[in-house]
């Protein structure tokens, strides 16, 4: 379906929740090292419940090796600094969504490789804060899937 890419995730329960999201939407999860936890972390396992075996999770040593697998025009970065509303693009099955670490988001050194139309933002009232990573991933994934009329093909 879609590819959820977490760049250097730091908080185990967020990744556990995103594992559940991926299992329930047919999306693949890509984790970019270094991770702020081990995959055996009890908080990650608790948040992911028994969904770990239902989700396709791939660990990549770095961002470059991960992103080489995707068509750059179908790769979207999520950032509070983005200027394109997350509902603007017309999504397709196979699209990839890159999310930054919980405490700092995606830095300018990463965002400079994306066209402004591929840096998406979710609207929010606060400028210097951001939504929870797992919530943002769920909103983005479900908007893309909604555009496909929740089709699994």
pLDDT of residue 83: 93
Q: pLDDT tens digits, residue range 2-51?
A: 999 999 999 999 999 999 999 999 999 999 999 998 887 687 777 766 77
Whose tokens are 């990463």? That residue is 110
Q: pLDDT tens digits, residue range 49-58?
A: 677 788 999 9
- Enumerate residues 6+ apart whose C-beta is below 8 A from 46: 13, 16
Q: How far apart are CA 46 and CA 88, in angstroms?
A: 35
Q: What is the CATH number of domain 3-147?
A: 3.40.1280.10
Q: pLDDT tens digits, residue range 58-71?
A: 999 999 999 999 99
Q: How far apart are CA 111 and CA 29, in angstroms?
A: 20
Structure pTM?
Answer: 0.94
**What does the block give as tokens for 4?**
């959820």
Domain boundaries, the chain: 3-147
Question: In this structure, what DSSP letter does residue 62 have?
Answer: S
CB 33 within 8 A of CB 60: yes
């Amino acid at each position: 379906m879609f590819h959820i890419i977490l760049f250097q995730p730091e908080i185990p329960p967020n990744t556990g929740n995103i594992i559940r999201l991926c299992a329930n939407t047919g999306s693949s999860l890509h984790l970019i090292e270094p991770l702020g936890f081990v995959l055996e972390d009890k908080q990650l396992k608790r948040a992911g419940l028994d969904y770990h075996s239902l989700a396709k999770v791939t660990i990549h040593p770095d961002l470059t090796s991960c992103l080489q697998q995707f068509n750059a025009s179908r790769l979207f970065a999520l950032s509070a600094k983005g200027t394109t509303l997350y509902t603007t693009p017309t999504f397709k099955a196979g699209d990839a969504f890159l999310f930054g670490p919980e405490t700092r988001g995606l830095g300018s050194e990463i965002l400079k490789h994306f066209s402004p139309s591929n840096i998406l933002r979710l609207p929010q009232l606060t400028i210097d804060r951001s939504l929870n990573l797992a919530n943002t991933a769920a909103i983005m994934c479900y908007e893309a899937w909604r555009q496909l009329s929740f089709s699994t093909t």
